[in-house]
Every structure is written in C-alpha cells, then in structure tokens.
C-alpha cells in the first residue's frame, strides 16, 4: 500500500483518538525511518521516546528472534527464566525490592497507585488513600492514571474521576508540604514533566520531596515512564546529580524505552510495600511474558553500561549547544532546555505545528507539545553527525 491508501484505510477503520502526522512508515533502520515511497526521515521522535536503541538494533533483533523460536507466553501462573532474569536486573539496577511487570506506562502507573493505596491503608487505616499529584502532569489515560493526570484537557468529559487525588503545583516542595494530611498515602511526580512541556525542576526538588515523604511517612512515587532507561543520560533520571542511595523513590514506574518498542511496563516497589502484597492483589495476563522480558533484559544490558550513558549525556550537551547557537539568531526561540537526549525548545509564538510540518517536508521528524514547545527525543544511539543534520534542517526551517 502507498501512504495515501494506508492513511485512508486507517482513518476509515481505526477509532479517531489520535491527531496523526500525514506520514506512514514502512521500515526503520538505526535513526532513520522510511515511507512506503522510500522517502527517508531522520527520526528525532523515536516512537515517542520509546525506540531508545533506534530501529532494528542487531542485539534486540537477535534476542527477539531467538526467544520467539523458544517461548513467547505462558501467563503468570507459571515461572519463566526470562522473567526471573529481567526482575533480578531491574531490582539490582534500581536498588528497590521487587517489581510488578505489565505492558505499558499507564498500567505501570495504575499498579503504582493501587499498591501505594493498598499498602498505606493496610498500615494506617481506611482513610489513608490520598495521592498528591502535580499540575501539568501526565500519567496515562486509564481512569486511575487519568485522575492523577492534572491537566483539564485530558480529564474533561470523563467525570466523575477516581476520588482521592489532590493537585499540587510542580517544582514547589513547600506547597506539597501544605497539602500532606493524615490521609495522604503518597506523592506522585515525574522527575521531568514530559507531556507537560519538558519542564525540568530545580536540582534539589527531588531530594526535598524525598525528605518530606520520609518526615511524613508517606510514599514517594516517581513516574519515569518517559525519563527512564537512559533518556536523560543516566539510567533513571532520579540518579542524576544525586548519590544513588540518597535519593531513591519508594515506587518507580517504567515503560517506553524498556522494551525497545516491544510493549512492556514495570512498577518497582520498596521492601515495605513488597511485604504488604499478597497473591490476588494485582495481576496482568501478558505482563512480563517470556518474549517481552528477554527483549527488556537485552535493552537494559546495553543501555545500563556506564560508557553508553556517558555518551548520551555528551550528545545531549552537544545538541543543546547547537540549539543555543541557533537561538542567538532566531527571536522566535524563547528557551532551550534539556537533560541528556530529552530536549525542548519553547517558542515565543504558538507555531509548533507549522514547524513540525516544515521539518517533515525536509526529512526530520520532531514533535510539538501545546503548539508552543518543540520536543526532541531521538534514539539514544544517535551520532553527532545526525545531530548536525537535524540542527541544519531546524536552522533552515526556523
């Protein structure tokens, strides 16, 4: 099928929940994707911060092929070596106690919310179920995750939402403190707000929130669905600028980059929560099946290498420097910000969609948030020559 036919059939038969680019993709290779007509695009979107190892990475393909021949799925009523190995790796890399495996970011959040409530209610009584979440957050579209997603545009039309969610400003620990009550179970936030516009809090924010949670004996849930798995130049964003064990959440949510494009999510919890969980409290039919686990383990084996992460950090700085040079000549660019390869330009005018379209015409895929922010989340294997190419296209378009 050609692009036109694919778009037509999709729009006829797939529920219209998405605003799509007028673009069909047939093939991917490294940091490039190709349309059915053979047009080549430099992919600085990476399937929405998912394809951290790019497209068709040889080690991921090998793991996928070998595992698919051997075993794909048996359910969580049995054990597999692949799930055991992935769980051991996640526990050892995060320093948390145990993991619940699922299939997406939303599900990893849904598990986090349920497990925090369950453990808190068990310890402190039936009213201790409130979860404080932040303005402009994004945690997913199921009713629980949506109730924690503090953006009106996503919540409108779906009420009544799940009760027990309290809204706090982001990047303001004193404000959080005023909202903690005896009914608070947890504080939930993203280390960098992705869908909220790549908003980076001040460097002490996470440690302050950690201390607040310790003082008030409530759980700290970090949603690293977008920031995790190397995106910011460390395996988890919470490790950035912090001594690993000085700043650790009680619950950590992962998805996106974990499966190199294969659907998988994970919710890691501390020992206290792990000990409060009994069989039957939560479940997922597909979660952590043999194929997903094998691919995720191979992904982690590659991305968790110090040299790989250091390289992400360096390339992120290189990209930021390049963008700042462009900013000097272009008054449309209000602010450049980023950490590792999670980078954004805030515009002075709402012209994001126009810029995305023009970049597309020139063979570069990027993304806009709220039409005012350009977001760049290229595969972590991107090279400086690709970054130069993207900078050149952006410069022309701007």
Catalytic amino acids? 138, 223, 256
In the set 82, 110, 130, 195, which binds ligand PLP (CB under 6 A)? 195
DSSP-derived 3-state class of residue 86: helix
HEC secondary structure over 26-70: CEEEECEEECCCCCEEEECCHHHHCCCCCECCHHHHHHHHHHHHH
**327: number of Cβ within 10 Å:** 16
| 136 interacts with ligand PLP by CB under 6 A | no
In the set 31, 87, 102, 109, which binds ligand PLP (CB under 6 A)? 109
| 387 interacts with ligand PLP by CB under 6 A | no
Minimum CB separation of residue 392 from ligand PLP in Å reads 29
| 104 interacts with ligand PLP by CB under 6 A | yes
Minimum CB separation of residue 255 from ligand PLP in Å reads 5
What is the number of the residue whose Cβ is closest to ligand PLP? 105
Cα–Cα dist 56/236, whole Å: 24
| 225 interacts with ligand PLP by CB under 6 A | yes
* Bond from prior residue into 160 cis (ω within 30 degrees of 0): yes
| 213 interacts with ligand PLP by CB under 6 A | no
Q: Which one, of 210, 222, 219, 223, lies nearest residue 130 by Cα?
A: 219
Tell me, by CB under 6 A, how many residues bind ligand PLP: 14
Of the pair 221, 393, the CB lying nearest ligand PLP is at 221
- Per DSSP, helices labelled H in 71-148 are 81-94, 105-124, 143-148
Of the pair 226, 270, the CB lying nearest ligand PLP is at 226
Judged by CB under 6 A, the stretch of 72-80, 116-124, 188-196, 374-382 that binds ligand PLP is: 188-196
Cα–Cα dist 164/77, whole Å: 32
| 249 interacts with ligand PLP by CB under 6 A | no
| 226 interacts with ligand PLP by CB under 6 A | yes
Counting beta carbons within 10 angstroms of the beta carbon of residue 171, is it exposed (0 to 12), middle (13 to 18) or buried (19 or more)? Answer: middle
Taking the alpha carbons of 233, 106, 302, 44 in that order, is the dihedral positive or negative? negative
Minimum CB separation of residue 104 from ligand PLP in Å reads 4
| 164 interacts with ligand PLP by CB under 6 A | no
| 255 interacts with ligand PLP by CB under 6 A | yes
Of the pair 252, 387, the CB lying nearest ligand PLP is at 252
Which DSSP helix (H) or strand (E) runs through 358?
Answer: helix 352-361
Minimum CB separation of residue 252 from ligand PLP in Å reads 12
Give the DSSP letter string of 179-198.
H--TTEEEEEE-SSBTTTTS
What mask of x and - would describe binding to ligand PLP in positions 267 to 286, judged by CB under 6 A? --------------------
| 287 interacts with ligand PLP by CB under 6 A | no
Q: Which is it for strands 265-269 and 251-254: parallel, antiparallel or unpaired? A: antiparallel
What are the residues binding ligand PLP (CB under 6 A)?
104-106, 109, 138-140, 190, 194-195, 223, 225-226, 255
């Amino acid at each position: 099928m050609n692009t036109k036919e694919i778009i037509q059939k999709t729009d006829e038969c797939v529920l219209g929940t998405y605003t799509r680019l007028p673009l069909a993709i047939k093939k991917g290779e490294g940091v490039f994707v190709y349309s059915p007509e053979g047009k080549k695009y430099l992919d600085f979107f990476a399937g929405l911060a998912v394809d951290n190892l790019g497209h068709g990475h040889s080690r991921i393909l090998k793991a996928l092929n070998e595992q698919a021949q051997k075993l794909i799925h048996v359910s969580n009523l049995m054990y597999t070596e692949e799930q055991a190995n992935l769980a051991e790796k996640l526990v050892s890399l995060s320093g948390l106690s145990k993991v619940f495996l699922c299939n997406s970011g939303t599900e990893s959040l849904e598990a986090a919310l349920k497990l925090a409530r369950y453990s808190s209610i068990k310890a402190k009584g039936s009213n201790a179920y409130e979860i404080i979440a932040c303005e402009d957050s994004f945690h997913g579209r199921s009713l629980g995750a949506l109730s924690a997603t503090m953006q009106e545009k996503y919540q409108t039309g779906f009420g009544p939402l799940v009760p027990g969610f309290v809204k706090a400003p982001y990047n303001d620990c004193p404000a959080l403190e005023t909202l903690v009550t005896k009914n608070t179970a947890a504080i939930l936030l993203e280390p960098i707000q992705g869908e909220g516009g790549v908003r980076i809090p001040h460097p002490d924010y996470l440690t302050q929130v950690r201390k607040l949670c310790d003082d008030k004996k409530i759980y700290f849930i970090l949603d690293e669905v977008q920031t995790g798995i190397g995106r910011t130049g460390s395996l988890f964003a919470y490790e950035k600028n912090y001594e690993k064990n000085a700043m650790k959440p009680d619950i950590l949510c992962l998805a996106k980059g974990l499966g190199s494009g294969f659907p998988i999510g994970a919710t890691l919890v501390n020992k206290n929560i792990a000990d409060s969980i009994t069989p039957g409290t939560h479940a997922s039919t597909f979660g952590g099946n043999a194929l997903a686990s094998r691919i995720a383990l191979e992904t982690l084996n590659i991305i968790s290498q110090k040299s790989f992460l250091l390289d992400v950090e360096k390339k992120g700085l290189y990209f930021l420097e390049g963008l700042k040079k462009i900013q000097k000549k272009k008054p449309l660019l209000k602010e450049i910000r980023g950490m590792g390869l999670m980078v954004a330009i805030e515009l002075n005018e709402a012209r994001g969609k126009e810029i995305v379209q023009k970049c597309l015409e020139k063979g570069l895929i990027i993304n806009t948030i709220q039409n005012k922010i350009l977001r760049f989340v290229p595969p972590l294997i991107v090279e400086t020559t690709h970054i130069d190419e993207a900078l050149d296209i952006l410069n022309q378009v701007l």
